[in-house]
Amino acid sequence: MRRSRWAVALLGVVASVGLITAGCGGQPRPVVVPTQGPTSSLAALPRPQHVVVVIMENQNLAQVVGNPDAPYLNQLISDGALFTQDSAITHPSQPNYLALFSGDTQGVTGDSCPHSFTTPNLAGQLLDAHLGFALYAEDLPTAGDPVCSRAEYARKHNPVPDFINLPGRLAQPFTAFGSDYAALPQVSFVIPNLCHDMHDCPIAGGDAWLRTALDGYRRWAATHQSLLVVTWDEAEDNSAANRVPLLVTGQMVRPGRYAESVDHYTVLRTIEDMFGLGHIGNAIQRTPIRDSWLAG
């Protein structure tokens, strides 16, 4: 009797249990985050030299696409792939960053700080595979600083210090991003400060910051088998659809607009498969993005 695809998939899943300690007086509770070994789906995906994921804040798809206050973002849309049915996972900000980074919201429902997790995450996957990861946060005072907030920096947007199974040095000030793009790790997250991410300041300011801070990398990526991914943590309208823009540019990207349903877990799954990693949490059940890549 033939097994269902779901039953076969379950055979490859191994549960990893970590202890999550909630902030603001919450009690520790065990959380099970499943893991799965690599699958054959990676064969359909390119293997980038570098991937840089930029996470902006609190804008709906309609607030960005065609907005004259966002000329740089709309240039990226014209040059790359725009996913028009991309959804954030929840509200407010923090659990969305955790979802993208670890395949799970880790039981977090607010923006409290600090938290301590020992569950699987993308950075740990990459390190275990002898690959590199770094998170570059604007206004982070020093590398690995666990401070909850300082000036326009907010730890709720930086998941690295929440995971005590990671070396703190993986979180770097954005000044360490530099201009030697070949020296970047295989995967980088870039976290603008609360003004430049469009949370506290207008869209035009965030758009201008992206051009200044990352256009050099974008142009380099276009000839060096690398990717620039720009997404948003959540939609501003607090809707159930939680529709946010997802933009991808780079040498192997097929420009166009794509209407399949994707979310933060899909982005995580796609990165995992590109680098031949296993899968964690809710990324296990997602299908990687396959249709926006150029052959070869």
pLDDT number for residue 264 = 98
CA distance 173 to 141: 7
236-287 pLDDT, tens digit per residue, is: 887 789 999 999 999 999 999 999 999 999 999 999 999 999 999 999 999 9
Per-residue pLDDT band for 30 (boundaries 50, 70, 90) equals low
Asked: is 5-285 a CATH 3.30.565.10 domain? The reply is no
pLDDT number for residue 179 = 97
Q: Which residues contact 20 (CB under 8 A, 6 or more apart)?
A: 28, 29, 30, 31, 106, 107, 115, 116, 117, 118, 119
Q: Is the pLDDT of residue 92 over 50?
A: yes
End-to-end CA distance of the chain: 39
pLDDT number for residue 11 = 38
Q: Is the pLDDT of residue 44 over 70?
A: yes
Q: Is 214 helix (H, G, I), strand (E, B) or coil?
A: helix
pLDDT number for residue 33 = 86
